[in-house]
A and B are shown apart, each in its own frame.
Chain A
């Protein structure tokens, strides 16, 4: 059974949304999804770039009111 976790990293300057996502992925199973909220517009670029580099799957990348919601599926 797959799982979906949410991480609200809005206002997280350190370690920041991508580091939070990398840490959270370590405790997820292949196929699980993580939805990360970030108020840093750099995340909308950084997270997809890293996801592509490592080989996970970007499910969505949406701008909402004052923050970005990025959903990633763990692929390996």
Chain B
């Protein structure tokens, strides 16, 4: 009997796992002793970090998309048939169309999604760039913006932890280039008592904010937005007026996770080193889907996926565990429209961002293209 691997989710992490397994299990796939099947939601693969550049006209929409079929190894059947229920006892995945897939090993890569609908008034009153429609609307609004109060509002949890600071600095540069900075006031809000979750990044951001005249409101957890009066109010009791509200909306995991009773909020309880679902020895969880307390970011998904590829192929080929995930995360940080820095850290090494430079910004721009090699499992 062939060993059946089912991957639920066709985003970055699921795709890297599938492509990596194809290389590691080449002979087994060829002989038919292993099959890999992927269930996804779209025929397009989206480079999500590129959405940050859309509002500023710095990337073309067509650069963000590839056909998923072309990104994914041809040996992996891909069905656009989202999972509707995962049964980890019976080892089956039921799909929206009514099909059922049995598995020997399951990889859950359902990811996260923005939920501006959770906060009253946010959908009506705010702009965001975390999906294409939102990024397009923000681009249109920025084109016509002639100055005023801008609030950049950050909610927890959210993916890509540095994006809020990046968009703040990019907005500042955009307004300066547009000639409306002297008529604009930017206020950045953050849920905890500093400017960023990463303490060294927060310390670095303080003088940068002072230098650029960016105001901040810390301990700000959004309660509601009033699109009529153009105000945003926090659970802590602070109300800010705005002319333009750019929000990083709160995220949840996928509905199928909650519907399958696999984790509150759509996050699957996952062992931080093995990346196995807690209580399972045949269910791996990867990327944003885990409840591991680390950044929900593409690099996290990538490094986790590499670990799962090694372990899953080792279990199948040699019947043994290969290695543990060490919590590695790497993030570029755009510090304006022409400079950038980066941070990396793991479970035991704290982050230590270096001084921004134009070269690192160029590296980030290059990575915007190199991403497709990552998704194919080549980088």
A: residues with CB less than 8 A from B are 5, 7-9, 11-20, 22-24, 26-27, 42, 46, 49-50, 53-54
Contact = CB atoms under 8 A, between A and B. Distances in A.
Main secondary structure of the interface of B (DSSP, over half): loop
Nearest to A15: B197
A57 to B, nearest CB: 15
Contact of B198 (A8, A13, A23): A13
B265 A54 contact: no
7 closest A-B pairs (Cβ-Cβ)?
A12-B293, A23-B157, A15-B197, A11-B347, A27-B264, A9-B293, A27-B265
Contacts, number: 73
A20 B219 contact: no
B348 A11 contact: yes
Nearest to A20: B293
Given A11-B347, A13-B351, A14-B345, 9 more contacts: A9-B293, A13-B197, A13-B350, A15-B156, A15-B293, A16-B192, A20-B293, A22-B221, A23-B156
A50 to B, nearest CB: 6
Interface string B183-212: 000000001110001110000000000000
Contact of A14 (B191, B235, B264, B329): B329
Contacts of A24: 264-265
Interface size class of B (residues with CB under 8 A): 20 to 34
Contact of A8 (B118, B157, B161, B293): B293
B294 interface: yes
A10 B161 CA distance: 18
A5 B291 CA distance: 12
Given A13-B345, A54-B236, A19 B327 contact: no
Given A23-B157, A49-B193, A15 B295 contact: yes
Nearest to B300: A14
Nearest to B221: A22
A19 B197 contact: yes
Interface in B263-296: 264-265, 272, 293-295
Interface string B335-355: 000000000010110110000
Given A49-B193, A54-B235, A19 B157 contact: yes
Contacts of A42: 199
Interface in B68-122: 118
B294 A22 contact: no
B250 interface: yes
Contacts of A18: 191-193
Nearest to A12: B293
A42 to B, nearest CB: 8
Contact of B157 (A5, A15, A49, A53): A15
A13 B197 CA distance: 7
A20 B198 CA distance: 13
A12 B294 contact: yes
Nearest to B196: A14
14 contacts: A12-B294, A13-B294, A14-B294, A15-B197, A16-B192, A16-B198, A16-B293, A17-B293, A20-B293, A22-B192, A23-B156, A24-B264, A24-B265, A50-B219
Contacts of B347: 11
A18 B197 CA distance: 9
Contacts of B272: 8
B265 A7 contact: no
A49 B192 CA distance: 10
Given A7-B293, A22-B156, A14 B219 contact: no
